[in-house]
A and B are shown apart, each in its own frame.
Chain A
Amino acid sequence: DTGVSQNPRHKITKRGQNVTFRCDPISEHNRLYWYRQTLGQGPEFLTYFQNEAQLEKSRLLSDRFSAERPKGSFSTLEIQRTEQGDSAMYLCASSPAGGYGNTIYFGEGSWLTVV
């Protein structure tokens, strides 16, 4: 029984480069979430998928950010033309569909440093 898996765990990139993070959710979970967390703050919601459909995007998700979940399994989060303000940890989470009582399980996060 594997949990939510994210890679790479750490990425250092130069400003202006593109980066992509991958998330593999718990296999039977059809809901998938991306969050961003900066140092000392709580995670902030970025986007949500139910199966392959992206159903909600936060205003935090600028047009440089794109997320996909092509077959309703793994998901990718791409950041184009990275800026120093993008430095953060990007957390992926998954849960079964259903009511508010279903627990959302998180991966270990992907740390991004833009230099």
Chain B
Amino acid sequence: AQKITQTQPGMFVQEKEAVTLDCTYDTSDQSYGLFWYKQPSSGEMIFLIYQGSYDEQNATEGRYSLNFQKARKSANLVISASQLGDSAMYFCAMRGGSGNTGKLIFGQGTTLQVKP
């Protein structure tokens, strides 16, 4: 079975500073994808960044980067130069590659608050 664990229920960061949100995962699949989504209070799940299990380089998308450590089964999200608009809930999710439906399995989420 696949599992995602996010151990930080809440995080604070000062505006313009960097923050790391932790994510560990468990799977028996050899091929899988790891995703991060942002959910503001409005409710929409916004896709941020993707890392494939065979990708050798860490993914980056603008201010977002994913620190992928395959041996440790971790996929931490790094947000650089935090902005007030980054305040939201963040979810780590995994999608297996073993011919299944491709559904996402989510962690419990981390609430990030950016302080001015």
Q: Which A residues fall within an 8 A CB radius of B?
A: 31, 33, 40-45, 48, 50, 55-56, 89, 91, 93, 95, 99-109, 111
Contacts and interface: CB of A to CB of B under 8 A. Distances in A.
A42 B91 contact: yes
B101 A56 contact: yes
Given A105-B47, A107-B44, A100 B96 contact: yes
Interface in B25-77: 31-33, 35, 37, 42-47, 50, 52
Contact of A45 (B37, B52, B103, B107): B103
Contacts of A105: 47
Given A43-B45, A109-B44, A111-B43, A103 B103 contact: no
A78 B74 CA distance: 37
Interface of B: 4, 31-33, 35, 37, 42-47, 50, 52, 91, 93, 95-97, 101-109
15 contacts: A33-B103, A42-B4, A42-B93, A42-B106, A42-B109, A45-B104, A48-B103, A56-B101, A89-B43, A102-B102, A104-B102, A106-B37, A106-B44, A107-B44, A108-B44
B99 to A, nearest CB: 10
Contact of B33 (A48, A91, A100, A111): A100
Given A42-B93, A100-B97, A111-B43, 15 more contacts: A33-B103, A40-B109, A42-B107, A42-B108, A45-B105, A48-B103, A56-B101, A91-B45, A102-B102, A103-B50, A104-B35, A106-B37, A106-B45, A106-B46, A109-B45
B47 A56 contact: no
Contacts of B31: 99-100
A43 B43 contact: no
B97 A41 contact: no
A106 to B, nearest CB: 4
B101 A43 contact: no
Given A33-B103, A108-B42, A109-B43, A100 B95 contact: yes
